[in-house]
Amino acid sequence: MAKSESSDERGRTITNQVRRLRFENGEITQQQLADRVGVTRQTIIAIESGKYAPSLPLAFRLARAFGVPIEKVFQYEGENR
Amino acid sequence: MNRLQKMARFNLIVILIALDLSAIAIGVAYFVVGMPIRRALGGFGFIGICGLTALSPILYKKEQGNVDFDERDLLIQRRASLGAYTIFWALFVLAAMIPFFVLGPDGAVSVKYLAAMVFGGMVTVGLVQYFVTLEEYGWRNKDGEK
């Protein structure tokens, strides 16, 4: 399944596994996940499609909703400087 | 489409209708009826239609229970406000400085010019803010459940 990507201001890529984890956790809907973490369904759609990189608190809430560490949900790719 | 998008769309349509009607009224009064330009500019009265934007929070009420505003909406609102006030300041500086260069430092402008700056500023802020809001959300909001 394709990873969702968004870029930060340095051009580094932030990928996420939200969609995959949603399917692996009982195929919960975007609305159900949105209700669990306290955002709108549109925000979940934007995160999954890589159009929006969530705040750190929201990233933690998403990880907790799936019961996995945050690095299993979000990956920060690019050279370290 | 969420509540903010619906409100932005409604308000943008209202402002565009007000601007169109004003332009049509001024054009008809000046070119068709043959009024002097100072009277034809009374067509700007149609800008008052923009007052209908106050209805948008009533038309699109908050839904009970569901989250309808989150951090992304806040970010979009901030970007829209920033865009609106950036454009507003650019136009405000132009509106204030052009008479200075055209009429000279001792020139005078009608107080009507000040009122036009205020209403022009309000319309500009609204227009840009709602446009940026819709642009940030995406005009073609597929919003599909996957």
Chain A contact present for B71, CB below 8 A: yes
Tell me the pLDDT band of B145, cut-offs 50, 70 and 90: very low
Tell me the pLDDT band of B142, cut-offs 50, 70 and 90: low
Predicted local distance difference test score (pLDDT) of residue B17: 97
Chain A contact present for B131, CB below 8 A: no
* Those residues with Cβ within 8 angstroms of residue A11's Cβ, 6 or more apart along the chain or in another chain: A78
| CB-CB under 8 Å, A39 with B71 | yes
Tell me the pLDDT band of B79, cut-offs 50, 70 and 90: very high
Cα–Cα distance measured from residue A17 to residue B145, given in angstroms and rounded to the nearest whole number: 17
The residue among B9 and B1 whose pLDDT is bigger is B9
Predicted local distance difference test score (pLDDT) of residue B146: 40
**Over 90: is that where the pLDDT of A3 sits?**
no
Tell me the pLDDT band of B64, cut-offs 50, 70 and 90: confident
**Over 80: is that where the pLDDT of B140 sits?**
no
Decide: B79 and A47 in contact? Cβ < 8 Å.
no
Q: Give the mean model confidence (pLDDT) for residues B129-145.
A: 77
Chain A contact present for B106, CB below 8 A: no
**Over 50: is that where the pLDDT of B76 sits?**
yes
Tell me the pLDDT band of B22, cut-offs 50, 70 and 90: very high
**Over 50: is that where the pLDDT of B139 sits?**
yes
Distance of CA B104 to the CA centre of its chain: 30
Predicted local distance difference test score (pLDDT) of residue A79: 57
Distance of CA B4 to the CA centre of its chain: 16
Q: Which residues of A touch B71 (CB under 8 A)?
A: 39, 43, 54-55, 58
Tell me the pLDDT band of B38, cut-offs 50, 70 and 90: confident
| CB-CB under 8 Å, A40 with B72 | yes
**Over 80: is that where the pLDDT of A7 sits?**
no
Q: Write down the mean pLDDT value for chain B.
A: 91
Percent of chain B past pLDDT 90, that is, above it, reads 77
Predicted local distance difference test score (pLDDT) of residue B122: 93
Separation of first and last alpha carbons in chain B: 16
